[in-house]
Structure 1
Amino acid sequence: MKLIGHELVPYEPLFWRENARQIEAGKQNLFKFDAASIKRAQELGAQFSVEAENLNEVIVANAAGAKFIIMPRELAGKAAKLAQDYLFDAQICAFVESENELAALSETGADVAIFKTAVIGKDKR
């Protein structure tokens, strides 16, 4: 399992974008699944990742070129199976609060655990 945002592991930060106008080339953009934002990232040739809420969004995000697809933990297992069955290029991810959640997340088959400190510009909830 890959870790993003852990203090001992080097990583590239993700930059939270509220809308398509904020997307920048040269940075790893992160936004809620949104067709306009995906189109803008594609036009700029920018790397992007999405927060998906359902498996339909997962399928489209992967096909559109997302690097990371962040799922609610309860759907991460289904998304990981889908990604494995169809050889997705995107990696299935979920947010974690601490190292204590890594073992449980690993049981879902998710590729990446993202600590919230890795995301710049998003409310840390």
Structure 2
Amino acid sequence: MQLIGHELVPYEPIFWRESARQIEAGKQNLFKFDEAAIKRAQELGAQFSVEAENLNEIIVANAAGAKFIVVPRELASKAAKLAQDYLFDAQICVVIESRNELAALSETGTDVAIFKNAVIGKDKR
């Protein structure tokens, strides 16, 4: 499992975007699943990640070129299985508060644990 935001592991910060206009090339952009935002990121050639709420959004985000797909913990196992079965290029991620959550998260097959502090501009759950 990859860790993003742990103090002992170097990482690139992820920037939360509320709208497609905020997306920037040269930064790792994260936004709620939104077709306009995905199109904007693609046009700019910007790296992007998507916060998805269901399997349909996960499938489209992967096909569209998302680097990370952030899912709610309760969807993590299904998302990880889907990604493994279909050999996704995107990585399935869950945002966590502390390292105490890592063991439980590892049982879901999630690719990446993103510590809350790694997401700049959004107070994550």
The normalised TM-score by structure 2 is 0.98
Residue 37 (str. 1) matches residue 37 (str. 2):
yes
Q: Please show how residues 21-60 of structure 1 align to structure 2 within 5 Å.
A: 21-60=21-60
Note the C-alpha offset of 1:64: 0.1
Q: Which runs of 5+ in 2 are unaligned?
A: none
**In 1, Cα distance between the equivalents of 2:114 and 2:30?**
12
Q: Which residue of 2 aligns with 1:109?
A: 109
> Counterpart in 1 of 2:85?
85
- Residue of structure 1 in register with 2:20 after alignment: 20
AA aligned to 1:52 is A
Alignment length (residue pairs): 125
List alignment gaps of at least 5 residues for structure 1: none
CA offset digits 1:9-49 (Å, max 9, x no partner): 00000000000000000000000000000000000000000
Cross-structure match for 2:72: 72
Structure 2: which amino acid aligns with 1:13?
P
Q: Could you tell me the percent identity over the aligned residues?
A: 88
Shift of 1:124: 4.1
Deviation at 1:60, TM superposition (A): 0.1
Cross-structure match for 1:122:
122
2:13·2:118 contact (CA, 8 Å) conserved in 1? yes
Q: Deviations over 1:74-114 (max 9, x none)?
A: 00000000000000000000011101000000000000000
Q: Which runs of 4+ in 1 moved over 2 A?
A: none
Report SS of the residue matched to 2:30. strand
